[in-house]
Amino acid sequence: MVNDPVNILLVDDQPAKLLSYEAILKDLGENLVKTSSANEALQFLLKHDVAVILIDVCMPDLDGYELAAMIRAHPRYQATAIIFISAIALTDLDRIKGYEYGAVDYVPVPVVPDLLRAKVRVFIELHRKTRQLEKLNAELEQRVAERTAELEQANADLERRVDERTREREMALAQVHQMQKLESLGQLTGGLAHDFNNLLMAILGNLDILRSKCLPADPKLERFVDSAIQAAERGATLTQRMLAFARRQELRPEAVELPRVIDGMADMLRRSLGSTIEIRFDFADALPAICVDPNQFELAVLNLSLNARDAMPQGGQLTITARNETVKAGGAEGLAAGRYVCLAVVDTGMGMDEATLARAPEPFFTTKETGKGTGLGLSMVYGLAAQSGGAARITSQLKRGTTVELWLPVASKVTLASAETSAAEKSQATPTQAHRILVVDDDSLVAESTVSMLEHLGHSAILTTSCIAALEALRTEPQIDLVITDQVMPGMTGIELARRIRQLRPELPVILATGYSELVQRRNEPGFVTLDKPYHLDKLAAMISRVMLRDAEMPADGALRRA
């Protein structure tokens, strides 16, 4: 279990010092293991898991540095916290040597009991959080395996039906079947992404709290936690690609100035593509603002740029252009009449033959080595374009390079006005006082993570795991200021719960947290706002601040409720 006592290994050839360490650390309630030599310590490590190791630097058989090096050589203990304890005067060279041999901290003798207890307690907590993450990762891998098996079976069944119908009907019928196939894949992919987002929500929430609350000022520990956060954020990026393919992501389109966005990405693109690839930009004058979700647009540009990089292993040139286009009725397949901005990403790479080009936009299709690509990047770009009212086009020639065009509609006057209003609201969002918040989520991991984040922000939280329990809490708890609810729940969705809440308490604001959007068509319904999963502490704090600030400015009858 996560809260069971963990092993703390004490290594010192002097029994008196071992007894003193035991006296200092016994109040931690952990299992203290005393060993008097490096050989004895190694024998224990081969058989048991250890959270923290305290090593005396000067010992007769192997000194602390040699023992630390041998411990670090074992795969199981490459990230275990090792603390050196030295009774001799320490120089900067001694400390550097200790860190080179794998220590995360250095404690001089005489030992300050409170300091040693505090350091060991931090590393024990980090060890427990690491084990929690490993458990969550194992659960995530199991769910991926199960959903992947379902996906493969559904795909096999669908392909069999397509083959049977193809023999019975004319060829005019691979596009209807193909659309059915993609829809089935989209439904399964969207459900898988929903589960991913819930797990990632719990992981990111706990890591955010750990980073801001529990860690000492130690660059090495901060690096460990930052790496874990980056891995979780990569998982979130993957779910966004899956949702984009399934066309179930919650897009927040607004007026976007394309040159400004690309200019802001320029340094990141250069770092990502490396020094062997030259990047050029060529934008037409007076480009109008486009209507697109800015975050998803940046992700699409990054995906296309990384694909281009992989197609130019020996280096080359990447050109990003943008031009005005006007489409007449029936003038372009998949595009309504109107004004567009066409963004083109052009590389000088290996290119594709006709067969590969035909399959390039397919979900999960990739020409990269195993583990080097998901096959969802280009599908995500196509999904974003379609959901934004535009289209994507791809052309390529072997040894001549590839061009991907992203056609996006010009922002209307209404969109521009909405963007100005949104910017004004964001500028007014300031931290608010502590609130009593009702949390509704049927996933216990996500619910507990949300409660921890809220308490860390200074709020008090009431946790319920069903909509029925939430409604009962609202009847018995008059002091609730805000409701944060999941959208996809059994029995009653978050939207349905928000409508019931509006009947009970019309003035009460509701935030719908969702990673699998069924809210796109209901974006303009009054009474609630949406918060995309997974989210960080700062995003949660800003959303609460904006909602409560706007709620304070609304009339009592709620006639101007939030959209």
Average pLDDT over the chain, rounded to an integer:
80
What's the pLDDT score for residue 72?
86
| Residue written as token pair 């109040």 | 27
Q: Looking at domain 429-553, which of 3.40.50.2300, 1.10.3720.10, 3.40.50.2020, 3.40.50.11060 is its CATH number?
A: 3.40.50.2300
pLDDT grade for 365, boundaries at 50, 70 and 90:
low
The hierarchical CATH code for the domain 7-111 is 3.40.50.2300
pLDDT grade for 218, boundaries at 50, 70 and 90:
confident
Q: What is the mean pLDDT of residues 462-475?
A: 92
pLDDT of 31 higher than 60: yes
What's the pLDDT score for residue 316?
95
Q: Under a CB-based contact definition with an 8 Å cutoff, are residues 147 and 191 in contact?
A: yes
Question: How many other CB atoms are there within 10 angstroms of residue 59's CB atom?
Answer: 19
Show me where the domains of the chain are located: 7-111, 122-246, 254-413, 429-553
pLDDT grade for 514, boundaries at 50, 70 and 90:
confident
| Residue written as token pair 């990403």 | 345
The predicted-structure confidence for 80-114, as pLDDT tens digits, reads as follows: 889 988 766 667 777 777 777 778 888 888 888 98
Provide CB contacts within 8 A for 295, sequence distance 6+: 252
What's the pLDDT score for residue 258?
93
Q: What is the mean pLDDT of residues 539-557?
A: 72
* 369 or 15, greater pLDDT: 15
pLDDT grade for 557, boundaries at 50, 70 and 90:
very low
What's the pLDDT score for residue 165?
76
Cα separation values, 467 from 173, 382, 471, Å: 45, 36, 6
Identify the helix (H) or strand (E) that includes residue 406: strand 401-409
What's the pLDDT score for residue 430?
46
The predicted-structure confidence for 114-161, as pLDDT tens digits, reads as follows: 888 988 998 888 888 888 888 888 888 898 888 888 888 888 888 888
3-state helix/strand/coil string of 62-127: CCHHHHHHHHHHCHHHCCCEEEEEECCCCCHHHHHHHHHCCCCEEEECCCCHHHHHHHHHHHHHHH
Backbone angles phi, psi at 11, to 5 degrees: -125, 110
Query: Comparing C-alpha atoms, which of 533, 560, 530 is closest to residue 543?
Result: 530
Helices (H) and strands (E) in the chain, counts: 16, 17
Q: What is the mean pLDDT of residues 279-295?
A: 92
CA–CA distance, 353 with 398 (Å, rounded to integer): 6
Q: What is the mean pLDDT of residues 223-242?
A: 68
What's the pLDDT score for residue 296?
84
Q: What is the mean pLDDT of residues 257-266?
A: 91
What's the pLDDT score for residue 90?
64
Identify the helix (H) or strand (E) that includes residue 48: none
What's the pLDDT score for residue 403?
93
pLDDT grade for 529, boundaries at 50, 70 and 90:
confident
CA–CA distance, 539 with 530 (Å, rounded to integer): 12
Longest dimension (CA), the chain: 90
What's the pLDDT score for residue 439?
94
pLDDT grade for 277, boundaries at 50, 70 and 90:
very high
Q: Any alpha helices (H) in 312-410, and if so which ranges?
A: 354-359, 377-387
Which of 63-72, 78-87, 519-528 bottoms out in mean pLDDT, i.e. has the lowest? Answer: 519-528
* 226 or 147, greater pLDDT: 147
Q: Are 7-111 and 429-553 the same fold in CATH?
A: yes
What's the pLDDT score for residue 140?
84
Query: Comparing C-alpha atoms, which of 526, 489, 529, 486 is closest to residue 510?
Result: 529
pLDDT grade for 563, boundaries at 50, 70 and 90:
very low
Tokens of 525: 């319904």
Q: Tell me which architecture the domain covering 254-413 has in CATH.
A: 2-Layer Sandwich (3.30)
* 419 or 165, greater pLDDT: 165
What's the pLDDT score for residue 289?
94
Backbone angles phi, psi at 401, to 5 degrees: 105, 180
Q: Under a CB-based contact definition with an 8 Å cutoff, are residues 80 and 50 in contact?
A: yes
Identity of the amino acid at 510: V
Q: What is the mean pLDDT of residues 517-521?
A: 46
pTM (2 decimals)?
0.43
pLDDT grade for 239, boundaries at 50, 70 and 90:
low
What's the pLDDT score for residue 447?
86
pLDDT of 230 higher than 70: yes
Q: What is the mean pLDDT of residues 516-528?
A: 51
CA–CA distance, 243 with 226 (Å, rounded to integer): 25
What's the pLDDT score for residue 171?
46
Per-residue b/e over 315-353, b at no fewer than 16 CB within 10 Å? ebebbbbbeebebeeeeeeebeeeebbbbbbbbbbbbbe
The hierarchical CATH code for the domain 122-246 is 1.10.132
Tokens of 395: 């052309």
What's the pLDDT score for residue 344?
95
What's the pLDDT score for residue 200?
72
Q: What is the mean pLDDT of residues 170-181?
A: 52
The predicted-structure confidence for 401-448, as pLDDT tens digits, reads as follows: 999 999 999 988 645 545 555 554 444 444 457 999 999 998 888 888
Tokens of 62: 């192997």
